[in-house]
Chain A
Amino acid sequence: MTRRLLVIIVAIVAAAVFAVGAYVYQHSYADQQSRIARAESNHLVRPHSPVIGPASAPVTIVEFFDPSCESCRAFYPAVKEIMAKHPKDVRLVLRYAPFHQGSDEAVSILEAARLQNLFLPVLEALLATQPNWAVHGAPNLRIAWQAARSAGLDIERAQRDAKRPEIEELLKQDVADIRVLNVKQTPTFFVNGKALASFGQRQLDELVRTEVEMAKQKAAGR
């Protein structure tokens, strides 16, 4: 029956238009975000930010990150895996995007840990215990501090350090940069200033691989 056929065709066409539209929108949005990041590259990487991996690596992943964010926690192993694949060529710059209640204090724990050269172990301890302390609407930072202590942090010193004005300044700067770069969710990744068109481990992995290959070609050409 032609009516039935028409209904089926319209349903398929509508789904196809939606899918193509979504694809086009996401890519043009990522292009636009990359353009902003390129134009405002001083907002993308700040000297104050924690860096994981070799400082002079040719490929820089910038991750806008919230210690209270479940997706950041879930994504952390993927980022580590990608870093391990390119141990000499990739560095990770962490920018803070304190979108949740209590995130700012969690950031100050991380920054205090950085002063004691314990950034990574404390970061991993906070992420491991995140479900216990980062309850939405009712965060319990005492649990986060305890987790940091068991990762080896000198708590008395860290609690004094966490109140330092530099940390507040750093956080303010990161929040200001979030606005400039139009970062709306965590984690948001930029690889050498390029935004991900769609979010996912495979997409990040591919973009990093492309950038590493490009950097290697450039180095070989020189």
Chain B
Amino acid sequence: MVAPGDSQWGLLFISWLTALVASLAALFIGEVMGRAPCVLCWYQRAFMFPLAIILAVASFRADASVWRYALPLAAGGWLIAAFHTLQYAGVIPPALEPCGAGPSCTSGDMTILGGVPLPVLSLLAFTIIAALLALVNRRHDA
């Protein structure tokens, strides 16, 4: 375990806050607002939820070496969010799915707060987390 400096801990802490807000927002939209997650949303959840937990533990223990575990998760989630965003934007054609197999990943339902697309928010969150973790790593080496 490597004890981080103040600014490094701050970066770690903000990366956790990002993961926490993203996870709770996903739970709110899915469980409280009752909008079922589409398939790609589920994969992004699978990467975001563990980040909220391990970054909490790392912030608590002030363990900067967590980037080794967290950055791959953030990268995996980032790839899916990027794919989802491109699909939502119509750059990649969506896979044909039979009706009733769950909500579509590209429908107008994929927005919140009057039109902000959820895949873009997810991509933003994964980008912030990955960038902060990369910075934690750099200061960690220095």
The answer to the question of A21 belonging to the interface, with a C-beta cut-off of 8 Å to chain B, is yes
| Bitwise interface map of A from 7 to 31 toward B, beta carbon under 8 Å scored 1, else 0 | 1101100100110011001100000
Q: Which residues of B contact A18 (CB under 8 A)?
A: 24, 27-28
Closest B residue, CB atoms, query A6: B13
Contacts of B86 in A (CB 8 A): none
Contact A185 to B59, CB < 8 A, known contacts A14-B20, A14-B24: no
Taking CB atoms, residues of chain B closer than 8 Å to A7 are: 13, 16, 56, 59-60
Main secondary structure of the interface of B (DSSP, over half): helix
Q: Is the CB of B56 within 8 A of A25?
A: no
Please determine whether B20 and A10 come into contact, CB atoms closer than 8 angstroms. Answer: yes
**Which size bracket describes the interface of A in this complex?**
10 to 19
Does A164 belong to the interface (CB within 8 Å)?
no
Q: Which of B21, B28, B56 contacts A11 (CB 8 A)?
A: B56
Q: How far is the CA of A18 from the CA of B21 in the complex (A)?
A: 10
A3, A11, A21: residue with the most chain B Cβ atoms closer than 10 Å: A3
Docked Cα-Cα span, A181 to B62, in Å, equals: 51
Q: Does A48 contact B (CB under 8 A)?
A: no
Which of B27, B34, B60, B62 has the most chain A CB within a 10 Å cutoff?
A: B60
Q: State whether B62 touches A3 (Cβ < 8 A).
A: yes
- Which chain A residue shows the least CB distance to B17? A10
Instruction: Report whether B32 and A25 are in contact in the complex, using a CB–CB cutoff of 8 Å.
Output: yes
Tally chain B residues at the interface, Cβ within 8 Å: 17
> How far, in Å, is B22 (CB) from chain A's closest CB?
11
Q: Does A22 lie within 8 Å of B13, measured CB to CB?
A: no
* Nearest CB in chain B to that of A101: its residue: B100
A202: chain B residues within 8 A (beta carbon): none
Known contacts being A7-B59, A7-B60, A11-B56, is A22 close to B24, with CB within 8 Å? no
**Complexed CA–CA distance, A18 and B32 (Å):** 10
Tell me whether B9 is interfacial, beta carbon within 8 Å: yes
User: Are B13 and A185 interface neighbours, CB within 8 A?
Assistant: no
Q: Does A157 contact B (CB under 8 A)?
A: no
Residue B1 interfacial (CB < 8 Å): no
Q: Give chain B residues whose Cβ lies under 8 Å from the Cβ of A184.
A: 34
A196–chain B nearest beta-carbon distance, Å: 13
Cβ contacts under 8 Å, B24 to chain A: 14, 17-18
A4 at the A/B interface (Cβ < 8 Å)?
yes
B42-65: contact bitstring with A at CB < 8 Å (1 yes, 0 no)? 000000000000001001101000
Q: Is B33 an interface residue (CB 8 A)?
A: yes
| A185 / chain B contacts, CB cutoff of 8 Å | 34
B62 neighbours in A (Cβ, 8 Å): 3
Residue of A nearest to B24 (CB): A18
Chain A proximity of B18: nearest CB distance (Å): 12
Chain B positions within 8 Å of A14 at CB level: 20-21, 24
Nearest CB in chain B to that of A21: its residue: B28
Contact partners of A22 in chain B: CB under 8 A: 28, 31-32
| 17 more CB-based (< 8 A) A-B contacts, given A14-B24, A25-B28, A185-B34 | A3-B9, A3-B13, A3-B60, A3-B62, A4-B60, A7-B13, A7-B59, A10-B17, A11-B56, A14-B21, A17-B24, A18-B24, A18-B28, A21-B28, A22-B31, A26-B32, A184-B34
4 closest Cβ pairs, A-B complex: A22-B32, A7-B60, A7-B59, A18-B24
